[in-house]
């Protein structure tokens, strides 16, 4: 259809049409577009703006278009400028005159604003569901490793003993915060822009409360100019997904390090690894590396959408058409990343012996030696200094702390006694770290229980049983 033939003497050039058109991207909105159009037509009929029989034809026409798209019978045509024109053109082709009435008291500006909100609402819930699934996988892994002692790191240097359960549950907390953010963000989607039309609403006696309610919003938006130019919710959604993918990327980075030959803490399953075309011995963590790179992509989408919006005056400007590129790309990459992570974590092999072996290295119990001296009456700073000298001695003599005899210890401080050796035992050290949020197996069990409780509440809130 040549939409602008009334106003224009000449046809848009093919190149300009290609540049201007968005159907190759926004066809993904078809379901939401048809949903919005059906409710709009219902409202037009209810308010006496179109006849009952026209409404019936429009509704049936839209239903048949949806069905044909879903069955693969109807293909999107690049002749149409965007998904909105495509649906309208199809409708008129199918039902004739009545189809031309659908766009009464509406503009593509409020139409696309609505479609995007419906899309984000749907995908936000989907994202919450995916993250809940990921949490389940992490928790299962944690439950299997409550007593798996490993070194905890700061600066990637061996620091203090923890368990793999505690380590992996740290990611469960990050993802729990992502779920909370997604859940909260649903609030910024609860007003319907439909009826704002191009920018200045309409002279037709429409009912915006009705369309808002029918589409599952609590109310219509308050300012028609803001409604058609607001993309805050796009930024918010992309932002949350970018932050979440940053969490995935940190986890992926850790998996890459932990699966290296030097660490050998974990083994990523064959199903989620790649080989090398030349080096037969290789098993590479390609999936984890891609997860890292996907985070870069989501970050750049966030910067992209912020940059598109930063200098657009009110109200609608065609710049906004590009929002979908960032939006779809972010969600789709987020979705596949979560699925891959679930697969990787549920098939991960944890090398408990190797973790324990490495936990005995690096003077991991030095802090506990200092704490022992404090319990025997020394000031912490003095205890810290003495322990430093002991570690120095141990390094020079290639000994671990439990290999140094009591006599030698007594040379450093008189207060050392037989009970010291039990005090620096890794299992004992862990069990002693029995404070809320700490790594003792009991506290990690508590952490898991509380996390599960919170997750359940989100499941119920989003009807994801
Ligand atoms: N394809 C457009 C978009 O996605 C729809 C709105 C077009 N409005 C307009 N006045 N040209 O933003």
For 281-308, give the DSSP string: T--B-HHHHHHHHHHHHHHHHHHHHHHH
Q: How confident is the model at residue 362 (pLDDT cuts 50, 70, 90)?
A: confident
Range with the poorest average pLDDT among 267-281, 359-373, 380-394 = 267-281
Closest CA to 119 of 257, 277, 234, 205: 234
Ligand 1 within 6 A of CB of 22: yes
Please give the pLDDT value at position 12.
87
Question: For residue 308, what pLDDT band results from cuts at 50, 70 and 90?
Answer: very high
Nearest CA among 106, 112, 90, 95 for reference residue 41: 106
Main-chain dihedrals φ then ψ at residue 157, nearest 5 degrees? -115, 140
**Cα–Cα distance, 345 to 4 (Å, whole number):** 54
Distance (Å) from CA 87 to ligand 1 centroid? 14
pLDDT band at 298 (very low <50, low <70, confident <90, very high): very high
Residue 463, pLDDT above cutoff 90: no
Which of 175, 163, 143, 170 lies closest to 445, judged by CA? Answer: 143
The answer for residues whose C-beta is within 8 angstroms of residue 436's C-beta and 6 or more apart is: 443, 446
* 333 CA to centre of own chain: 9
- Considering only residues 461 and 231, tell me which one the structure prediction assigns the higher pLDDT: 231
Please determine, for residue 70, whether its predicted confidence score (pLDDT) is greater than 70.
yes
Dump pLDDT digits (tens) for 381-392: 999 999 999 999
Residue 334 buriedness (CB in 10 A; 0-12 / 13-18 / 19+) = buried
Q: Is 163 left (phi over 0), alpha (psi -120 to 50) or beta?
A: beta
- Which residue's CA is the nearest one to ligand 1's atom 11? 318
The number of CA neighbours under 13 Å toward the Cβ of 274 is: 10
pLDDT score for 1: 53
Question: Per-residue confidence at 283, pLDDT binned at 50, 70, 90?
Answer: confident
Could you tell me whether strands 349-350 and 266-267 are parallel, antiparallel, or unpaired per DSSP bridges? Answer: antiparallel
Q: What is the pLDDT of residue 361?
A: 87
Residue of 397, 372, 292, 390 whose CA lies nearest to 337: 292
Q: Is the CB of residue 231 below 6 angstroms from any atom belonging to ligand 1?
A: no
User: What residues contact residue 18 under an 8 Å CB cut-off, 6+ apart?
Assistant: none
Residue nearest to atom 12 of ligand 1 (CA): 321
Catalytic site residues?
Answer: 155, 276
Nearest-atom index, ligand 1, CA of 22: 1
pLDDT tier at 216, thresholds 50, 70, 90:
very high
Residue 460's pLDDT band, with cuts at 50, 70 and 90, is confident
Mean pLDDT computed over 204-217? 98
> DSSP 3-state assignment of 266?
strand
CB 328 within 8 A of CB 356: no
CA distances from 373 to 9, 359, 369, 413 (A): 92, 22, 6, 9
Check pocket membership of 109 for ligand 1, CB cut-off 6 A.
Answer: yes
* DSSP per residue, 340-377: HHHHHHHTPEE-HHHHHHHHTSTTTTHHHHHHHHHHTT
What percentage of the chain reaches a pLDDT higher than 70?
100
Any residues with CB less than 8 A from the CB of 360 and at least 6 apart, and which? 400, 426
pLDDT of 464: 79
pLDDT at 237 over 70: yes
Ligand 1 close to Cβ of residue 112 (< 6 A): yes
Q: Give the residue, out of 30, 36, 82, with the most ligand 1 atoms within 8 A of its beta carbon, to mutate for a pocket test.
A: 82
The answer to whether residue 465 scores a pLDDT higher than 70 is no
* Cα 409 to Cα 405: distance, rounded to the nearest angstrom: 6
Q: What is the DSSP code string of 306-345?
A: HHHHTTPPSS--GGGGGHHHHHHHHHHHHHHHHHHHHHHH
Q: What is the pTM of this model?
A: 0.94
Residue 340 · residue 272 · CB < 8 Å:
yes
Q: What pLDDT is stored for residue 370 in this prediction?
A: 96
**156: confidence class by pLDDT, cuts 50, 70, 90:** very high
Neighbours of 212 (CB within 10 A): 23
**1: which 2 tokens?**
């259809």
21 lines ligand 1 (CB under 6 A): no
3 pLDDT higher than 80: no
Phi, psi (deg, nearest 5) at residue 268: -80, 135
Mean pLDDT of 33-57: 98
Query: Which pLDDT does position 282 carry in this prediction?
Result: 79
Residue to probe by mutation, ligand 1, list 112, 117, 305, 320, most atoms within 8 Å of CB = 112
> pLDDT digits over 178-200, tens only?
999 999 999 999 999 999 999 99
């Amino acid at each position: 259809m040549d939409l602008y033939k009334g106003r224009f003497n000449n046809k848009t050039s093919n190149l300009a049409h290609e540049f201007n058109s968005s159907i190759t991207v926004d066809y993904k909105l078809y379901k939401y577009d048809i949903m919005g159009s059906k409710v709009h037509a219902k409202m037009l009929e209810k308010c006496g703006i179109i006849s009952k029989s026209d409404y019936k034809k429009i509704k049936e026409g839209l239903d048949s278009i949806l069905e044909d798209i879903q069955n693969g019978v109807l293909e999107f045509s690049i002749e149409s400028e965007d998904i909105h024109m495509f649906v309208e053109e199809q409708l008129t082709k199918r039902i004739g005159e009545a189809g031309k009435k659908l766009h009464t008291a509406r503009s593509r500006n409020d139409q696309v604003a609505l479609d995007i909100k419906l899309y984000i609402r749907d995908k936000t819930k989907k994202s919450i569901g995916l993250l809940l699934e990921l949490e389940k996988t992490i928790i299962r892994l944690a439950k299997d490793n409550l007593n798996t002692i490993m070194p905890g790191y700061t600066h990637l240097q061996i620091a203090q003993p923890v368990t793999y359960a505690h380590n992996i549950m740290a990611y469960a907390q990050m993802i729990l915060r992502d779920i909370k953010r997604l859940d909260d963000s649903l609030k910024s989607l609860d007003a319907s822009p439909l009826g704002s039309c191009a920018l200045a609403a309409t002279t037709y006696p429409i009912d915006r409360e009705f369309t808002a309610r029918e589409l599952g919003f609590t109310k219509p938006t308050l300012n028609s100019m803001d409604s058609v130019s607001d993309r805050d919710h796009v930024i918010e959604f992309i932002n949350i997904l970018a932050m979440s993918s940053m969490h995935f990327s940190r986890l992926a980075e850790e998996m890459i390090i932990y699966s290296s030959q030097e660490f050998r803490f974990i083994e990523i399953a064959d199903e989620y690894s790649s080989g090398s075309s030349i080096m037969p011995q290789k098993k590479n963590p390609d999936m984890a590396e891609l997860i890292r790179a996907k985070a870069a992509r989501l970050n750049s989408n966030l910067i992209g959408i912020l940059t598109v919006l930063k200098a657009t005056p009110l109200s609608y400007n065609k710049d906004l058409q590009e929002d979908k590129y960032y939006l779809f790309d972010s969600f789709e990459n987020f979705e596949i990343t979560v699925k891959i992570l679930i697969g990787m974590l549920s098939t991960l092999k944890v090398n408990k012996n190797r973790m324990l072996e490495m936990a005995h290295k690096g003077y991991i119990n030095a802090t506990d030696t200092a704490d022992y001296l404090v319990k025997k009456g020394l000031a912490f700073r003095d205890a810290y200094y003495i322990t430093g000298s002991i570690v120095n001695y141990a390094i020079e003599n290639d000994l671990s702390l439990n290999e140094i005899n009591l006599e030698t210890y007594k040379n450093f401080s008189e207060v050392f006694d037989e009970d010291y050796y039990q005090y620096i035992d890794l299992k004992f050290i862990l069990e002693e770290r029995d404070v809320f949020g700490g790594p003792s197996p009991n506290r990690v069990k508590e952490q898991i229980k509380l996390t599960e409780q919170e997750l359940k509440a989100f499941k119920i809130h989003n009807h994801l049983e």
